[in-house]
Amino acid sequence: MKRGIAGLAVGLLIVAIAVTGLGAPIRIGICKIVEHPALDANERGIIDALTAAGYVEGKDVEYILASAQGDPNNSIPIAQNFLAKGVTLVVAISTPMALAAVEVFEGTGVPVVFSAVTDPVAAGLVLDDDDSSQNGNVTGVSDLIDVAGDLALLKELSASVRRVGIVYNPGEANSARLTTIAEAAGPGLGLSVVKAVADTSANVPAAAQSLVGRVDAFYVTTDNTVVSAIDAVIAAAEEGSVPFLMADPTSLRFGPVLATGFDYYKHGLLAGDIVLQILAGKKPNQIPVVYQTGAEIHLNLDAAARIGLEFPASLIDRATGIFFGGASWLRSGD
């Protein structure tokens, strides 16, 4: 009951600000599950999107930043604290953070915008990603990567690739989901998926080693556990002289042969755009979930040389960036 009244009051406040464009700075709570290069870039992107649209920090908008520091048990207190501080909008980065925000802000009328969530429907955040009318006060951006596209790239790289090895942590919601997608997509491309499980970063070397000789290529999705120990997968791929595709462009310089995926700063800009639409008066249930598109392809020529691999011209033409001679080169005009 009290929550309902508070929600109504907050709702009226939003309307008042939207109508008059005046008043105290609006408060936006931004929370993430852990400090991580991709998630930090995501956070910066959100703030930069608002700044670019004229929301000056300290004058028009006040940000309350929070991190659960890797412990899902901190997500609920963080959301409750946002509620107590009377935020007008919440941006929740990652699945557990978004679930906590939706649970705490249910019935308050405060919009929740999620970001860096792979599958918002399977996670139970929204009912339908396309028809947003029943999604209540929740919308956001998904970072679902094009797994089938990645597997097709490996096939394009070398037609002899038949078995693809995936090292993953089944405890990570995003990674588990992507691995399932890969298993389903593989047969259609003439590929079989061989999985190796690493539940902690310390177990990545053993998992990667177990695949050497049994696979024709390595593939790692957006798996935080495996990315933390990426050197071990690179070593295993080089030992087996097979290509390694990684769905994280920021890790290209460490030595995978090719990397695809999204720029998380741009991901943040997309989330920021949704925030701007809501601040302009749109309701979250009028904004369908946004799926980031335009995955980039990055090639590591040094790593390819180490396993005696040459990239087909079709791939080089589409690459956004290359790593060559120990340095990164981006396509001009990008």
Partner 1 sequence: MGSILIHAAEQGFAYGIAALGVFITFRILRFPDLTVDGSFVTGAAIASSLLTSMGVDPFLALAVAFGAGCVAGAVTGLLHTRLGITDLLAGVLSMIMLYSINLRIMGKPNISLLRVTTLSDVVEKALSPLGAVALLVVLAGLTFLIKLVLDAFFRTEFGLALRATGDNEAMIVSQGVNTKSMKVFGLALSNGLVAMSGALVAQYSGFADVGMGVGTIVTGLAAVIVGGSLIRSRRIGWMTASVLVGSLIYRVAVMFALRYGYLIGFQASDLKLVTSLIVIVALVIPTVRERLMRKVGSC
Rg (CA), the chain: 21
**Structure tokens, 100:** 């906590």
Distance of closest approach, residue 111 Cβ to partner 1, in angstroms: 16
CA angle 320–326–327, rounded 5-degree value: 40
Report if residue 35 touches partner 1, rule: CB under 8 A.
yes
Q: Which of 96, 255, 268, 284 binds partner 1 (CB under 8 A)?
A: 96
Distance (Å) of CA 195 to CA 169, 183, 217: 10, 9, 12
The residue range among 172-180, 211-219, 283-291, 324-332 that interacts with partner 1, by the rule CB under 8 A, is 172-180
| For partner 1, the closer CB: 95 or 292 | 95
Among 77, 188, 190, 281, binds partner 1 (CB under 8 A): 77
Q: Is 25 in the site for partner 1 (CB under 8 A)?
A: no
Residue 57 interacts with partner 1 (CB under 8 A): yes or no? no
DSSP conformation letters of 120-146? TTTTTS-S-SS-GGGSTTEEEEE----
Q: Smallest Cα–Cα separation from 217: which of 197, 199, 191?
A: 191
Of 112, 151, 116, 121, which Cα lies nearest the Cα of 263? 116
Nearer to partner 1, 70 or 188 (CB): 70
Distance CA 27, CA 8 (A): 17
Does position 171 interact with partner 1 (CB under 8 A)? The reply is yes
* Residue selected from 8, 9, 12, 71 as contacting partner 1 according to rule CB under 8 A: 71
Q: Which residues bind partner 1 (CB under 8 A)?
A: 1-3, 35, 65-78, 80-81, 83-85, 95-96, 99-100, 102-103, 106, 122-125, 170-173, 176-177, 199
